[in-house]
Amino acid sequence: MVTAMAVSCPPHLSLGFAPRVRTKIHCRRRRHRHALRASRHESGTRTLFLSCPPPCGRRVINHRSASHAEEIPAPVPASTEDESSFSVLTAITSLHNDIVVVDTPASRFLLLDSTLNIHSMLNKEQLLTGSYWDDFASLPAIVPEGPIAILGLGGGTAAHIMLKLWPNLHLEGWEIDEILIDMAREYFGLSELEKCTSAGGSLSVHIGDAFSESVRVPGGFAGIIVDLFSVGKILPQLKEVTTWLDIERKLMPQGRIMVNCGGAHAEVSGSGDGTANMNGSWIQNSTIKALCQAFPGKLSWKRIAEKDSDNYLALTGPLPDLDAWSAAVPHQLSMNVKDWRTCKLAS
């Protein structure tokens, strides 16, 4: 994931923020002091390890989910130096995930998996996140009119931004974890996105496997957003060419796929003309390799705009006219579309 928020409780939760500057942030909740300790992952993103108190009481999300849920053990207090407030609203284990919701004065975060990377966030005073979810919101400007699928809905960050900026959109979101969706409705306002906007847009939530044959609509999707991770890693199916060809068949003509490809443990060197050759030396990201093979000459990539991040996005179809794309998106996103470049396999 782009941003890894690691909370250092048993089990360790991981929140990733801009690396390079090692900082300690400390928090107080209910007269306890707790530390956020910065460290670096192999991917190069910064992780904040947060030792935190347990949420108020032991709880499960709802009765129908209770058979598949168990409470995460209470985090252990730690000592600190400076202070900044946060609270853990809930921590629970579902059939698919360890799930923790962390609230701060500025934002709310959804942490998942044993790694507890940040999978969703909701800012309280501003819409955009400064991360890849903002880039997903630029997709409607370069696809035909029609429904857009989000595979890996999580807490609904991308859907939230997209419906605010494009209130007439019809979004179809797939998420495998029903308890996660319950928490997203309770803590991240997902239920509000399921209501019709004044312009007629809305989000429809589907619980199920994103690779299922049921992931389709009559006439095809105008766009498909893919953000599928498990235990901090991109799903292995996304490293297979056949997976991408199957997903492409769910698009309408001229439709596109935009993908969060995760960290790219590699050096990238552009040729200066917006084109980079894939010769095995400039990138080691298996998802981008599979995408390049599935869509030869029709794949673009970009490094997300976050400082010190090594996450990559990919976009199928011909490289759009970047000036026209920038002019077509809401002004808040105009800078997000500048850095796309064509990915070509070496001949």
Give Cβ neighbours of residue 64 (< 8 Å, ≥ 6 apart).
none
| Alpha carbons 277 and 343: distance in angstroms, whole number | 6
- Nearest CA-CA partner of 278 in 296, 260, 262, 261: 296
Instruction: Give helix 241-248 / helix 286-294 axis angle, nearest 10°.
Output: 60
* DSSP 8-state code for residue 178: H
Strand (E) or helix (H) holding 171 = strand 170-175
What's the average pLDDT block by block, 10 residues per block, for the chain (347 residues)?
44 36 27 30 37 36 37 36 71 92 95 86 94 96 98 97 98 97 97 96 97 95 96 90 97 97 55 43 74 94 68 94 96 91 72
- Nearest CA-CA partner of 205 in 229, 181, 230: 181
Strand (E) or helix (H) holding 180 = helix 178-187
Q: Which pLDDT does position 294 carry in this prediction?
A: 96
| Alpha carbons 108 and 102: distance in angstroms, whole number | 6
Q: Cis peptide leading into 105, omega within 30 of 0?
A: no
- Nearest CA-CA partner of 121 in 63, 57, 189: 189
Q: Which pLDDT does position 19 carry in this prediction?
A: 31
* Span 71-128, pLDDT tens digits: 434 333 333 333 368 899 999 999 998 999 999 999 999 999 877 788 999 999 999 9
Sheet holding 24-29, edge to edge: 5-8, 12-17, 46-50, 32-40, 24-29
Sorted by where each starts, the structural domains of the chain and their CATH numbers stand as: 128-265+281-339 (3.40.50.150)
Q: Which pLDDT does position 241 carry in this prediction?
A: 97
27 phi/psi in degrees, rounded to 5: -135, 155
* Span 293-336, pLDDT tens digits: 999 999 999 987 555 556 889 999 999 999 999 999 999 999 98
Q: Which pLDDT does position 35 carry in this prediction?
A: 30
Tokens 């005073």 -> residue: 125
